[in-house]
Structure 1
Amino acid sequence: MPTLPWTVPNPPPRNTEVHVFASRFETRTLWGALRFLVRTPGVWRQVSRAPGAYGATLKAQPLRRTFWTLSAWESPQALKEFARSGVHAPASGGLAAQMRDSRFVGWSVAGEELPLDWAEAFRRLS
């Protein structure tokens, strides 16, 4: 799967600070990577309609069993509400046993800095 392009469910208001969230997941097996991929379209549809979501992208290297997400949100609370609802909640819970390693990082940027750059996310996740 190639990198999914930056998708903008809701443009941020002018002069707004946004909450950025990046994640890196590595599955234990190729089977785990396949399970991750199968759940991706549903979660992607959810994020594309999520209240408070200002943008998101996903990078996948399934043969290396590694996936990254990068997203921008109105607030940490908007991100939490997304993560605990819809198809994301059971997808993440169902994949937990498949994970070898997971990393998460959050920071803030001005809304005018969107779309986000992968280089900064990789730097912060390493």
Structure 2
Amino acid sequence: MPDVSWFTPDRPAPHTEAYVMASRFETRTLFGAFRFFLKAPGILRQLRSAPGAYGATLRARPLRRTFLTLSAWESRDALYRFAGSDPHRSSARALRPLMRDSAFTCWAVDADGLPLGWDEAERRLANQEATR
């Protein structure tokens, strides 16, 4: 799976704040990475029509068994509604036993600064992992 470039389901109003989440998932095995790979298109389709989604991107490294996500939302509640609905919810539950490690970090940005790049997300994920 190639990386998925930043896409914008909903444009935020100018001068608003966006709630950002970055995540890193590492599967235990290549089989787990393959399963993650198979679930990703359905979740990306869901994200493209999710209420309150300002943008998202995916960095896939299946041979390293690692996947990173970066998304921006209208609010924390919009992100939680997305995560709690299918296919995301059922996919996350099905993949949980296949995960070796995962990390999540959230922060707020000025929505005028979207789309986001990977540098800040990876720095924040590394800091999150260092404090565990």
**Cross-structure match for 1:87:** 87
Look up the match of 1:40: 40
Q: Which residue of the partner structure matches residue 130 of structure 2?
A: none
Secondary structure of 2:122's counterpart equals helix
SS at match of 2:68: strand
Instruction: Please report how far the alpha carbon of residue 2 of structure 1 lies from its aligned counterpart in structure 2 after TM superposition.
Output: 1.8
The structural deviation recorded for 1:5 is 0.8
Structure 1: which 5+ residue stretches go unaligned?
Answer: none
| TM-score w.r.t. length of structure 2 | 0.95
Residue ranges of structure 2 left out of the alignment (5+ in a row): 127-132
SS in 1 for 2:33: helix
- Kindly provide the amino acid, as one letter, of the partner of residue 89 in structure 1: R
**For residue 59 of structure 2, what is the aligned residue in structure 1?**
59
Q: Which amino acid aligns with 1:21?
A: M
- The offset of 1:50, in angstroms, is 0.2
Aligned to 1:11: 11
| Residue 22 (structure 2) pairs with residue 22 (structure 1) | yes
Are 2:98 and 1:98 equivalent residues in the alignment? Answer: yes
Give the residue type in structure 1 aligned to 2:29: T
State the number of aligned residues.
Answer: 126
Identity %: 56
TM-score by length of 1: 0.99
Q: Which amino acid aligns with 2:38?
A: V
Q: Give the SS at the match of 2:116.
A: coil
Q: Which residue of 2 aligns with 1:68?
A: 68
Q: Which residue of 1 aligns with 2:129?
A: none
Moved >6 Å (runs of 4+):
none
